[in-house]
Every structure is written in structure tokens, then in C-alpha cells.
Amino acid sequence: MKLKKQVTVCGAAIFCVAVFSLYLMLDRVQHDPARHQSGGNFPRSQISVLQNRIEQLEQLLEENHEIISHIKDSVLELRAHADGQPAPPRRDNASWALPPESRPSFLAVSPQDCQFALGGKGESPDLQMLAVYSLLPFDNQDGGVWKQGFDITYEPTEWDTEPLQVFVVPHSHNDPGWIKTFDKYYYDQTQHILNSMVLKMQEDPRRRFIWSEISFFSKWWDNISAQKRAAVRRLVGNGQLEMVTGGWVMPDEANSHYFAMIDQLIEGHQWLEKNIGVTPRSGWAVDPFGYSSTMPYLLKRSNLTGMVIQRVHYAIKKHFAATQNLEFMWRQTWDSDSSTDIFCHMMPFYSYDVPHTCGPDPKICCQFDFKRLPGGRINCPWKVPPRAITEANVAERAQLLLDQYRKKSKLYRSKVLLVPLGDDFRYDKPQEWDAQFLNYQRIFDFLNAQPQLHVQAQFGTLSDYFDALYKKVGIVPGMRPPGFPVLSGDFFSYADREDHYWTGYFTSRPFYKSLDRVLEAHLRGAELLFSLALAHARRAGASSRYPLSDYSLLSSARRNLGLFQHHDAITGTAKEAVVVDYGVRLLHSLTNLKRVIINAAHYLVLGDKDVYHYDPATPFLSVDDTRLNQDSLPERTVVKLEASPRFLVVFNPLEQERLSLVPLLVDSPHVRVLSEEGQPLPAQLSAHWSSATDVVPDVYQGFCCPQLSILARLPALGLRVLQLQKSFDGHATLQSSVRLYLHGRDVFVRKQEAVPVHVFPAAPDDFCVENQHLRGCFSGRSGLLQSLRRTGEEREQRVNSEFFIYGTRTSKDKSGAYLFLPDGEAKPYAPKDPPIVRVMEGPLFSEVSSYYQHVQTVVRLYNVPGVEGLSLDISCLVDIRDHVNKELALRFSTDIESDDTFFTDLNGFQIQPRRYQQKLPLQANFYPMPAMAYIQDTQSRLTLHTAQALGVSSLGSGQLEVILDRRLMQDDNRGLGQGLKDNKRTCNRFRLLLERRSTANKSSGFFSKLASVLKALGFPGARTGSPEVQDSRPVSFPSLLSHITSMHLNAEALVLPVAQQPALPALRSFAPLSTTLPCDFHILNLRTLQAEDDSLPSAEAALILHRKGFDCSLEAKNLGFNCTTSQGQLALGSLFQGLELGSLQPTSLTLMYPLGTASNSTNIHLHPMEIATFRVRLG
């Protein structure tokens, strides 16, 4: 503590001296008589300029007097509280004051780091999707045989000088769960497809096949003979079988988070490398319902060079076909040097099935799907069946098919044509292999033998097609083909016909979307702790005593999380029984990950590692919560207090230190909390409510679940040891008080003596709760938020929250799991009873709870310094199981002048600007929101952060609206055959963050203003600029505070009570990082790699880092921790305390390719937005 005080005092002194010295230096430059006498280097005209600069500097010093004051106050606080005793909270102007901070905090952002959000460098893309949307009429005119397109004509001589090269690519799309469970599909169909593939591909070396879902392939691999495995390796080696994309699944791109997208890609790629020795080159995503620009970035960084997409809005397909823009280089919006470009092929027609892939006329193409030959189980809806190819009919049939090929090729810029040949679960019987391959080969042989037709047709893999295209245009894979356009943006939202927009699945089954993110957070935490514990155990020579079997639990969890990223899983679009199967897998892995975390934390907090003993029967730590079933909400563990102290271990999975309220349940109000050094910590005690009016006896809480709330500073990625003692000292914990407004309802209120409850039979007047940063005001009648005001501001910002209900259409087509087809604008939610409103106020947080019939909402305001206290915590417990064809929405209405523009995130990775399109129906204006959405004007930005993926829109200026749940009684005719009737009680969690634009130069306050003065004086390297993002530019970034708020919401601290035992070993908090990480760096994962034995860990790990892009133009005060940026520089060698970095090898994203040679230097550099993977050895 003394050292910290000295460091702070020295830092403050150095800061003051530096600024004052600069002032004196400039002062001397202006008044130095020697310079004037010698004529100097300053003509008189420049002296006046310099005078202005000095005045600016004086103004800077004046403006930043508060920074100096803050440091001075912090130093005084340190001196006053060097013994660590927190001062008791005090009341001041009706808001609670807090124990003083034990250290100062500041924001120091390099001006160069603010330049990135300004963009402006590099060439503009040829196609910007936001502009394309504004341009298109979306008039859906009848196009003839190609109903959503147009008539295609050509001259027969067009290929005389350059023949048409056709690659027919056989494929089978295998959903890892949809109508059947993953296992049922495998046993009924997939294993037969793959078994037949090995047999039939060996019959003719000209045959080709592609496969993408490694989840299925690995299960099959585990069940086949060594002989068959060798045959597979031969087929891959000679180019007959290609593994495309190579992820665990073909993921949904709307609801999935980038951590899970990367993780399933690594899982698939690592499996392929280990078992087959192959690295995927091309991406194949024919079935996700719309496409995110995150995926091409991840594929490019994994060293893939081409990709195929299919489900894009039919109007965009038509427009791109008409302008020959169906193939393009897909570039990230922030990219200034084309380093993110990847070649993308968009399929032009309605579907990836055979009738919609050979050309524009499905009636003709269906005749060349030889599974539909007469006598089979499926036929052609167009009533003209296929005919087996014979010598007698081959000329006529080949000419008919060639006409379709030629027409399709007219939509593309090259004379190389891709023709997929497959559908869902195709090729599951040897007869189909024969029917397709033999008949097509007869056609190819005929066409290739007719030189006057100028066509070369053959079976091919996806990379065969791309390679031929690259060769034709004279480039190597990965380069931009000359004459092809560059595109940026994404392909949401998707409509396949008419006004049938696939925007319902952005919210469908929100319970499981939430469970997905809980599992993801636990997987990341378990990966980090397991890797660190294993490295420390190895360094101490104790790895033989460590439970290495935990690695198989990690591996299984990776695969279950990966499986759920499938485009019929996280989307909420599978059959009810399949959803249960997914849920059981998710819960099973969640339980196992808690065990991995407990075992790692046990080892890391022991003061003496020699006493470590792993006993699976009696875990050293217990879990923070439990779930009874796969569809249950979590119930927190109750900590029983006894005469001897109870210890807690608290895990912070963030790479930044955090000051947080740590929630837990205790069985007695007589409790005090101490640090491991024995110093008392502030803790708030509240009653646990089982319903709007019932207090549960003997359990005390501080959140929507029962808990005591302890204010604790948690080390970055670390473990903090706390102790609980029984104490009858009334001042040991901070009390809260409750006001309960019954709104005229006649209900019994059960009270608890320890927490005062004041009951009011009527509704209150409007009221407010506040902390040191924010004041939130609420409607007395509804209990819902009405406005926000930031401390120090006169202006109240209207932020009115209301619930709304959407119905569905009365016509034939209705909303279902995929589609959102509302019956008009939403109507206000009108419950039969007014809400019971409960207002709880306490020194560490206050909250307002509103209990409605179908939704209970809790809005909490933390009275904690730093990030937690700068936003509102909102949770909505939704239960619409008695609704019929209704969707519940939460709408925020503000006076922010956002016009028709709003912003949503893509996969938690990047922000995509959106525009409300009046020409499109209401449902077309909804977009996925996996992590956040915001609206803004020139003065303010309001961000809604979410802990689960949901659908979002802004239907009017100043509005943000999120769909919370949907209950729909019918199928929407997209193959599922069910409605959405298996709703659960679901807790949706949010943070609402109001930010202001900086009023002075909009960079990073004092530091950037100082840089602008230095630049004007000719000092090198002092770049600056205004990073205000204009809505017209198709790029935007969250602020640093917004990024950190999102991480606080999505990576909660985990509380692990130490099991009661007679003789407790000495425990010590664990802080793994020796230095503070720059706050624009995120440790995405530290993933231990597998050894030769699949079930055991190797000595290497994948360290995956993400440097976030951020907007400096929003104010960042009172962050609560030292936030600095370093222009992308990071010294990894000294990052982990007590561990040496044995080796460091930069690799491609999924570790398949080394990037350069491993060097002795452990200093790395990342550009903003980049994700980088390093193969490391810690020990």
C-alpha cells in the first residue's frame, strides 16, 4: 500500500513537472532576447502565431486543472486510507456517497489510436451495401421462368474464342440437428452418405465431392476402420474429396458471437489437421439465413482464399446478376489497404437445390436431378420428370442443359461456371450416387466431344472452380482478379420471396440464446484458468497431481458450444425435441466447465502448492449456482455461515481489473466481509424476494437472485480471496430499505425484520434514483424508466421505456420460427392488472422492480466508482406462455435526433450502420443484435448492450426497440413443420449506456489537444484529428467505455465458495498479469492445444488477441481503472507473472499456417480491429 502511495505521488509530480516545463520552454522561446537580436529563426509574423499557441497551452492547463486536482485528491485519499479501512458511506444531497477509491484512475489514449475511427484512407468499395439498399426499388416484378429475375439471352458465338468451363460440384448439406437430433441424423442418413462416398468415389477418378460439417465427419471417423480412413486420405490427397470451410458446423451468422464462431472453426481445423492432414482453402455457406461480414474476415485470417454464399435477398441477387456483380472481393468496412479482401461467389437463384442451380429455369434444371427419376420417392413439382441419359437422347438432353449453363454464365464476368449438384442429406444411398454420377458423366462426355459447342464440362470441387477462375484471369489465389468489384457491408436482412423476411429467428427461443452466451463465458473462463493452472503446475513440477482429465471436459464443451452455433440451433429453428437435445448438451457442458474452473482455481489460490490434492469426490470449491434442468433458470447457492469464517474465491474473467459488486446468498443477516488481509469490505444486505410481495426467510440478497453484494476490486484474469464472518455488529453490513407500491391491489405482504419494508397501497408519484454519475427517473404508474440525467448536466434526456405487442397476419402466411410477418404496427402492452412497483435503495446500489403479468423488469443503478456505475443494468424476466400468436417488444423512445439511422453489431465483433427503409415493410427493418445497438446525434449516443442475441430495430427517430420473446402457434412453411410453442421463463439482461460527445476537440481530451499544439509547433509524430463519426459514412465504432461495459455484462465475476472443512490451508489471491493490458486489447482465448492423445493437453496453447477499434469522440470519465492504449504494441514476454514465455509463433487464425518464423522477440503489434493467434508455450 505504501508503495502504491509513493508511485501515485511520483506520477502526479512527474505529470505536473512535465506540463509546467513545456510551458516554461514555450515561454522562453517567445521571450528569449538573444533570438530577437540575432534575427533568429522566427520572423515577426510567426511570433504572433507562437503567441496564439502559448495562449492555447495556457487554456489547456486551465481546462485540465481538474485532472491535477483529481490526482491530488487521490493522493490525499491514499494517505488518509493507507491502512485499507473503508470510510463508512455518507449521505449527501439524498444520494449515497461511497468509500473513497483506493487509487486514482485515468484515461490516456494515444492520439494516433484515435485516428483509426476517422477512416478516410484507402479506396472506396465499388459496392457498399447500405448504398445498394437505398438504390434498389424492391419492386418484385415477375421475371418469367426465373421468377425473381429476368430473361437471359445470349449469342451462340459468344464462347467461340473462349470456351465455357463448367464445374459441377456434388455436395450433401447435412444439418447437425433440425427435424431430427444430431445423433438421429447421423445414424439414419449421414453415416450412409459418407460410407457410400468412400465406395463410389473410388469407382471413377473423375468424380468429385465436397463436405463441410466436421461435427458429423469426426463422429463417422471414430466409427470406421483404418482401411477406410486410409481411403479417405487418398481421396483428399488426389483432389477428389474436398473439405470446405472445415468448421465444426456451418454456423448461423446472425446470432452467433465471434468467440464461438472462431472456436468452432479452430475445433474443425485442428481436427482436420490432426486426422487427415488437410487445410481448407475455400468457404461454403449455402444455408445460413443472411450473411455477416465477420465471416469473410475470419475465413481470410484462416488463410482461405474463396467463399460461396447463397441465402441473400432476392432483390439484391437480381441487381447483382443484372450488373454482373455476383462475384466480388468482400472487404471489411474499416480496411484501408485491402488486407481483408476475400473472393466471394454469390449463387444467383432461389435455392441451393438442383432445380435452382443449373440455370434460371427450375423446370428444366429439375429434369437433371437424377434422384427424381420416375419410381423414386421424390419428383419434380413442375411435372416434367428427369430421363435417364442414353445414346439416343444424349444430344438433345445435353443441348437443353448447356442452354441453362450458358444463361447462368451470362450473370458472371468470367467464362468459368460453378454448378452445385446436391441438396439436404443427398447421396445417402448407392443408387443415387450411380444415378447422378453416371448420367452426368454421359452428358459431359458428349459435350466435351463436340468442339463446335465450345464447352468443357466436368465434376469439380469448390477449389477446382476457384483455381480455374484464378488461372483464367491470370492471378494467384488470394489476389484481386482484375475487373471484379470490391464490396463492403453485410447481407441482412434476408427475404426469399415476396415480403417474407427472415427476421423472426433473431429472437426465436431466447432462453437458449441466453444459455449459449452463459456457456460461452464459462468456456472462455475455463480455458484461461486451465491453461494458467497447468502452466504453473508444470513449472512447479506438479503436473502429475493436476487433473489433466479436465482437458477432455474442455474439449467436449468446445464441441457442444460449436454444435449450437449451427444455423438451426442458436437460431431457434429446430423441432422441439431437437431443442431439448441441444439444451441437455449445453447444460451438461456448463456443469463440466464449472468443475474445470473449480479445479484450476483450487490450485492457483493455494499459498503452498505442495499441499494440493485433487479429490473428485470432495471438491475444494463449490459452484455459484445450479440449474435443475436444461430449461431452468439458475438458482444461486446459499452460503451457510458458522462460527468459523467462510472463504470465497472470486474469479474475474476480464483482462482488466474491475471494481464490482460480488453477489452471493447467505443464510443470516449477521455477517461481515473481510479481505484476505482481514480488512473489512463494504457489503449491502437486502431481502430475497420470491415474488412481488413475498420475502424468503433466512436468505439475504442484493440482486434479482438472492445475494449479499460485496464491493471488491478484482485482479485482471485473477482470483480474489474473501472471507465471511458471523457478526452481530449492526454496522458490519450496509442496510437497504424497500418501498412497495401495490397500485390498489389487495395482496398480502410478507416482511422480514432485518430489512425495513414500507408498504403503500396506492401508486406513487413519479420518482428518481441516483448515484454519483447518473439519475434515472421513473413513472410512478408503470414503474418504467422515463428519463436519464448525467451528473453535472442541466438537461434531462428523455429515455422512455414501454412494452409493446405484435400480432401476426390473418392471411395464409403467418409469423413462425423463421419469419416475422406482423399484422401492422405494435400495440401497447395492456396487462389486466396494474404493476406492483418495488423501489429498493441502498448505499451500493438501488433498483426499481415492476411486476407485470407477463414480464418482471428490474432496473438497477450501481453506486460504485467506475464502469459499473456509468450505465443502467436492466433485466426482463419474460413469461408469455399464455399468449397466442404474440411477440413482446421493449421500446425506448428518446429525444435523440437519430432520424432514420441506427447501428447494430455483427457477432459482437464490429458495428454496421443501418437505415430505416420506408419503402420496405416493417419486418424488413429488423436486424440481429448479438451484443449491442445504438442511436446517436451530434451530442449524444444511447447504447443498448445485451447479454443474449435478439432482434432489434429503430422504427422512428430517437427509438430503439428489441423483441424479447415470440409465441407462435403455426409453422411458417420453411420446412420446420412446427410453430414456437415451447416458450420458457426467460431472463433477458441489458445495460443502457448514455454517452455525450466531447465538447472541446473531440479526440481524447487533454492529451490530443496537447498533441495538436505540438504538431502545430513542428514536433514530429504528433498527429491528431476529430474522430466524430458521421452517420453518412458506413463505419462506426463503440467507445472504449462501451466496449468495457459490454464485457462487464457478458463476463460476470464467478463466486466460488470454499467448501467447509476442518483444517483449511492458507489461501492467497492470484493475479496472473504482471502488467496492465492496454484497454483496447482483449484476450479472446488462451486455448490449450491437444496432445497426440486427444484426451490430454499438450504443452502449447493458442493465445488469441483482439485489438478493438473505438471512437474517441465520446467522453470517457471515471472509468474506475487505468485505461491506456499503446498504438497496438504489447510485450507478451513479461505479461504473465511467474511464467516464462518459452516460445511464441504467430500463426493464421486457426493455427494451420505459421506466419513468418518464430523469433526471439516477444513484442507484438496489432492493428485496430485485428484478431491475431499465437502458438505459445508457457512455463
287 catalytically annotated: yes
Nearest CA to 530 out of 554, 559, 500 is that of: 554
Residue 700: all three cell numbers together? 439475504
Q: Helix or strand or coil: residue 1126?
A: coil
> Between helices 2-31 and 44-63, what is the axis angle to 10°?
160
Candidates 213, 223, 219, 269; CA nearest to 1089 is: 269
Contact 665, 706 (CB under 8 A): yes
Q: How far apart are CA 969 and CA 730, in angstroms?
A: 55
The alpha carbon dihedral of 304, 308, 312, 317 has a sign of: positive
CA distance 635 to 690: 12
SS3 291: strand
- The side-by-side arrangement of strands in the sheet containing 986-996 is 757-760, 737-741, 836-841, 845-851, 855-862, 872-878, 986-996, 940-946, 932-936, 901-906, 910-915
Nearest to 888 by CA among 797, 782, 964: 964
Q: How far apart are the first and last CA of the chain?
A: 30
Q: How many helices (DSSP H) and strands (DSSP E) are in the chain?
A: 22, 54
**DSSP letters of 515-564?**
HHHHHHHHHHHHHHHHHHHHHHHHHTT-GGGS-TTHHHHHHHHHHHHHHH
Q: In this structure, what are the phi and psi dihedrals at residue 348, rounded to the nearest 5 degrees? A: -90, -20
* Residues paired with residue 417 on neighbouring β-strands, in sequence order: 166
Cα 925 to Cα 309, 823, 956: the distances in Å are: 22, 15, 11
Catalytic residue among 113, 287, 423, 568: 287
Tell me how far apart the alpha carbons of residues 557 and 683 are, in angstroms, rounded to a whole number: 35
Grid-cell match 443474449, residue found: 948
Nearest to 998 by CA among 911, 940, 936: 940
Residues composing the chain: 1179
Is 519 within 8 Å of 586 (Cβ atoms)? yes
| CA-based radius of gyration for the chain | 32
* Residue 81 grid coordinates: 486510507
- Tell the residue number behind the cell numbers 460453378, with chain if given: 418
Dihedral of the alpha carbons of 228, 230, 236, 238, in degrees to the nearest 10: -120
Q: How far apart are CA 612 and CA 598, in angstroms?
A: 13
C-alpha distances in angstroms, 171 versus 265, 386, 407, 427? 20, 19, 22, 8
Neighbouring residues of 261: CB distance < 8 A, sequence distance ≥ 6? 251, 253, 294, 295, 298, 565, 907
Give dist(CA 779, CA 34) in Å, integer: 70
Selection from 74, 256, 204, 126 nearest residue 949 by Cα: 256
Q: Smallest Cα–Cα separation from 369: which of 355, 384, 349, 350? A: 355
**Taking a C-beta distance cutoff of 8 angstroms, is the pair 581, 181 a contact?**
yes
Cell triple for residue 326? 455476383
Q: What are phi and psi of 97, to 5 degrees?
A: -100, 155
List active site positions: 287
